Structure 1
Amino acid sequence: MNTETLKQNIWQATENLLEKEFFVVDVLIKELKEKLKVSVLLDGDKGVNIEVCAKTSRALGNIIEEQNWIESKYILEVSSPGAENPLKMLRQLPQHIGRTLQIATKDGKIIEGVLKNVEGNQIVVEQSIGKGKKMQKIVHQIDWNEIITAKVVISFK
Structure 2
Amino acid sequence: MILVKKIIDKLRPVVIDILSQLGLELFDITLRRERRKLVLRVVIDDPENYVSIRQCEIVSSQIGNYLDEADLIDSSYILEVSSPGLDRPLREMKDYNRFVGRLAKIWLKDGKVLVGNIKETTENTVSIELKNGEIITFSFDQIKKGKLEIDF
Determine the structure 1 residue equivalent to 2:16. Answer: 15
Aligned residue pairs total 149
Q: Structure 1 vs Structure 2: percent identity of aligned residues?
A: 28
1:102 maps to amino acid: K
Task: Report the TM-score, using the length of structure 1 for normalisation.
Answer: 0.81
In structure 2, distance between residues paired with 1:25 and 1:87: 11
Determine the structure 2 residue equivalent to 1:35. Answer: 37
Determine the structure 1 residue equivalent to 2:26. Answer: 24
Q: Secondary structure at the match of 1:81?
A: coil
In structure 2, distance between residues paired with 1:33 and 1:102: 32
In structure 1, distance between residues paired with 2:24 and 2:64: 18
In structure 2, distance between residues paired with 1:67 and 1:44: 26
Unaligned runs of 5+ in 2: none
Task: Report the TM-score, using the length of structure 2 for normalisation.
Answer: 0.83
Determine the structure 2 residue equivalent to 1:147. Answer: 143
1:1-150 pair list within 5 angstroms: 2-19=3-20, 21-46=23-48, 47-129=50-132, 137-150=133-146
Say what the alpha-carbon RMSD is for the aligned residues. 2.2
In structure 2, distance between residues paired with 1:19 and 1:82: 20
**Which stretch shows the higher mean deviation, 49-58 or 73-82?**
49-58
8 Å CA contact retained: 1:44, 1:92: no
8 Å CA contact retained: 1:90, 1:121: yes
**Which stretch shows the higher mean deviation, 80-89 or 60-69?**
80-89
**Which stretch shows the higher mean deviation, 71-80 or 10-19?**
10-19
